Structure 1
Amino acid sequence: MKIHQSILVLISIYLLGCEPKNSVDHNALMTSIETFNKAFSEGDLKVLDSMTTANYLHTNGSSKVIGKKGWFNYLEKRSKRLQSGEIEVLNYKLDETKIEYFGNSAIVTGKVSVKVKDSLGSKENKYRITNLWVYENETWKRAGFHDGKIK
């Protein structure tokens, strides 16, 4: 009887110490972020659409929260300006990146530096960002975005 209890205790300790198998590919998130940022800087709406959730929410320091449709309305105008040469992205860089995983989700924080050239010249801005990414259908998609301009 004591042997059975000892075995049950050992099995319980082992099972409590084991992490559940997780099919989420954590290593692929940084690659997805890089692909997303490249698509944004180039105005590639097809890639951006495939990498955002249907219920995507976008917030920045100068506007109210908008959904995916509202954000894509902005992106379409921006993409036309990029294609016409009216604006040119000279630099788009994410650094100081930190990722915290929560099951099939991740919060990504960092600093984005953007340098854009238009008819008035070039200007550079920096933003602190927080993104919510979710792992859907074996791929990472951005579900939420927030930024605040660094003065």
Structure 2
Amino acid sequence: MRFFRILLTIALAFNLSNCSDKEPETTKEKLLQAIDMFNKAFQDGDNAVLESMVTENYVHTNGNSKPIGKEDWFNYLNEREDDIKSGNLQVMEYELSERRIEFYGNVAIVTGKISVSNKKKEGIQKNEYRITNIWVNEKENWKRAGFHDGKIK
């Protein structure tokens, strides 16, 4: 419940009139490009790109942990990036499907399913997650402001 209060606060904190009704396809296309770029950077462990694509007050919540902020999430990402660079982790698949986008001015809520396949020395691990992302349009750039996932059994 706290996560949804945070989502609502983020949505209300932004001026919802910045998104032009005249160019919804352009707005949507830019968001789709940002999502694809973000997911590719996550798959590759490219933290520099990820850093440029999240808000300063970013909130990240996994289904099995409490919400964390940007600094704690990047601490995790730095360890993950080291594992990818050393070859201890190979992300074979990171795919968003069943994507749905709802726009609220310059805020977008993106839902979908993530399929991920990782290869470690223990073997290949496959998982699927239902996700909710909050994206905000800051100065003509879409940035992710919030994330939540729940593992699909």
Q: TM-score range by the shorter chain?
A: 0.7 to 0.9
Q: How does 1:47-126 map to 2 (within 5 A)?
A: 47-126=49-128
What residue identity is the alignment partner of 1:69?
A: E
CA distance in 1, matches of 2:42, 2:34: 12
Corresponding residue of 2:147: 145
Instruction: Find the aligned partners of 1:71 and 1:104 in 2 and give their Cα distance.
Output: 24
Which of 36, 42, 45 matches 2:38?
36
- Structure 1 segments (4+ residues) deviating >2 Å: 23-26
Pairwise CA RMSD of aligned residues?
1.7
SS in 2 for 1:83: helix
Give secondary structure in 1 for the equivalent of 2:64.
Answer: coil
Q: TM-score, normalised by structure 2?
A: 0.84
1:82 Cα deviation after fit? 0.3
Aligned length: 133
Q: Provide the identity percentage.
A: 55
1:90 aligned counterpart, secondary structure? strand
- Counterpart residue type for residue 62 of structure 1: N
TM-score, normalising length from structure 1?
0.85
Q: Which consecutive residues of structure 1, in runs of 5 or more, have no partner in the other structure?
A: 1-19
Higher RCO, Cα 8 Å, sep 6+: 2
> Structure 1's 78 and 21: CA in aligned 2 closer, same or farther, altered over 3 A?
closer
